[in-house]
Structure 1
Amino acid sequence: MWESETESVRGREYGNGVLSSNKHGVKTDGFELRGQSWYVATDIPSDLLVQVGDVNFHLHKYPMLSRSGKVNRLIYESNNHPDLNKIALEDLPGGPEAFELAAKFCYGIAVDLTAGNISGLRCAAEYLEMTEDLDEGNLIFKTEAFLSYVVLSSWRDSILVLKSCEKLSPWAENLQIVRRCSESIAWKACANPKGIKWAYTGKPSKVSSPKWNDLKDSSPSRSQPVPPDWWFEDVSILRTDHFVRVITAIKVKGMRFELIGASIMHYAAKWLPGLIKDGQGQGNNPNAKMRVARLVDSYLTEVSRDRNLSLTKFQVLAEALPESARTCDDGLYRAIDSYLKAHPTLSEHERKRLCRVMDCQKLSIDACMHAAQNERLPLRIVVQVLFSEQVKISNALANSTLKDPAETQYQPLIPNHKTLLEATPLSFQEGWAAAKKDINTLKFELESVKAKYLELQNDMENLQRQFEKMSKQKQTSAWTSGWKKLSKLTKMTAVENHDIGPQISTAAEQTRKTPRRWRNSIS
């Protein structure tokens, strides 16, 4: 396995990979392993037992409490517990190996940092809360400095640290170790090959499963130029999610798309056995084509849930394989149905266009049963599915009556109806009659449904007409009531005027007659 490029045999100062703590309080010569337990080599008896998984650590309180906030808090919370000197750290990232290094650091024992242990020790330091508030130059600060200044400046160390993060989720993600290593690898992969001066594994001549202890070391030399794909093999040892993170970072940095595609092909060929085989004539292997078809259909099912996936892209992916690659279109039908679920706003024309990539004759019986009841499919596709299923049943019944089974594959797909009935026994004729009876029953039920539909439609039209009449009556009644009120008012004013008129006239006559009488009386 790769060792850190900055590591020496005897160890160095901290800046080059050796950690030590000056304040430890307990003089010790190191740790001793006895069975499944670690003991501190000192004359002072142990007063603290820490359990990490199946391993016990017999330690002392002062060195641990002075540098670990987690241990300090657990000891304080267990004051009322009978086991005052016993704590368990079951979920510590990095396991017993990381805790051993952290405990040695607390005792002031020199700890040799490498690319293989730095990620686990960094996560363990975060878990144990070994911050600067407890001690200056605590483990979090020193491991973070080693990551930033030593690991991220090295090509191989960045890959090894990213590889070691596979068992440290989600701590490595939360501490940004995965992101920083991916960014470092991406920057170096996008560098000019002429300026590469670090060692790399190189691309092997034949793709095989990785062997961590037998990696070929190809150091660039001036006489031999560095190929553009020099980073393929080193990156291919990563887990799939970390490989995707690296490829995404490389794409953001501006790597050529053909190189990105070639690296993905190299990764797939390495981890998918049988995808690429040596020798001639292997490309026509039907089993290999079926595996590729299943893989593509599974991928289509996954991406079909993306609402931003256009119909054209989905159709191009589905038609990328030749027709002979799929012996059964159940996986493709599942992907189409999932796409229709995620895109309910497709028009009828778009749904027909989507379903053209599927061959209804390659669907199984279960898929046909589901498709016949699927309301998302166009009606024409449902009819094709039912027709192809009927053809399969008829063909199977016809072939079952033949004596020579070798001739079954040469029989016509749709046999003549009359010859089929004449050449089949009475049981088949009875079955055909029963099928006809079922068809007639379905037709009768369909007609009854149509009649009920027409009846409901007529009722709805009658209700609409009644509603329109009622609305018109309300309008006319309102107008007539208004006109009646106005007419009553006009009649009342006319009567009053008629009654007041004679009174006014008699009064006028009296006024006219009175002066005469007054004048006569004076005279």
Structure 2
Amino acid sequence: MPYIYFSDTFEVKWSYTYTRPGYNRKQHHSVPKDWWTEDVSILNIDLFRCIIMTIRSTHVLPPQLIGEALHVYACKWLPFIKVKSSGSSSSQTEESKEKNRKVLETIVSMIPADKGSVSAGFLLRLLSISSNLGVSTVTKTELIKRASIQFHEANVSDLLYPSTSYLDQKFYDIELVQVVLESFLKFWKRISTGAGDNKHYLLRSITKVGKLIDSYLQVVARDDNMTVSKFVALVEAVPAIGRLEHDDLYQAINIYLKVHPDLSKSERKRLCGILECQRLSSEVRAHAVTNDYLPLRTVVQLLYYEQEKESNAATSTKVQKPLELLLGAKKRPATRDSHGKQSLGLDKEEFKRGEITRRASLAESREKSQQKTKRLDDKLALDLEKKMVIRENKEESMSGSKLNLDHKKMVQRTRSNKSEYGSEKRR
């Protein structure tokens, strides 16, 4: 048998084609490491499993390359399955469903344990297909666990899968996202208790998940069949540490209110009650105040918070100016004048300015105290005047009664005198 030797490997015509979906052709200067993944994807699942397990046992190829081979095979053999209602194709559908169930369970069992061997989007896609295929509980639990560990690496497009339940009228599969989110939070709490140097990484991961959920809410809010309870449940599932700002959440709520204008007053109140005014930016607050879709109570809360913030800022500015002047005088080093005397670093103009400000504040406080004293004096004078009027009225009434008594006594005396004089005259 003749042997042919090539001195230049660039002249070899390799068999890789990269016809799988999602691949962008590139000009490679050398043979890519994953050239064989598409070739082995044409094999049946049993032979494919034997090849992958043999490659893994050699520990030559990295886990990411094994994961790429599994991804290529899944894209070829696991399309989205739509159950047909016609009776003629029901047996064929069940047969294909059984075959795809075996493929999915085998692929999940071969995923390397190394983190990042497959993408979060690939795991979420397998999880969405598993609900329709009816895979085993072990396989589904493994997918949820692996997807939750890498959940912060996912994109919004990785979560947009249609609901496979006939009873569920929603277009998107909200339950899938909720299950993965709950598993992620349990995993995050477990590893955050003993975290030392990884605190920044954990905070960054849960913040990414919070932004991911808020972006996902902006998409599912456009679903006409999305209920308020489901929407609020997904919002409240994210802890406060994962949502430091509420700008994206406000956008999601605003979209939901526009798409669902027939909400009751209690539903609007419940939906907008999850917003926190202090976590909104000034631009978003300005937009929310003029938003007709928000309930009046939320708008009043926003206005009250804005007014309180402005008053606090004004108060802090007034207090800060004298403090800055005082601290500036303390920080400046002492200097010596032309006569060698030590003086403060505060020049005459600044001293005059400070003195004028101090005198103005004293005059203002003195004026306020004088006005307060005047008001008290006026009140006391008014009370005294009322008491004097009452007293005068009493005295007048008493004096009137005394006059009447004196008049009666005088009349009686006159009559008695007249009677005595008449009796003497008769004598």
- TM-score, length of structure 1 as denominator length: 0.38
Larger helix proportion of the pair: 2
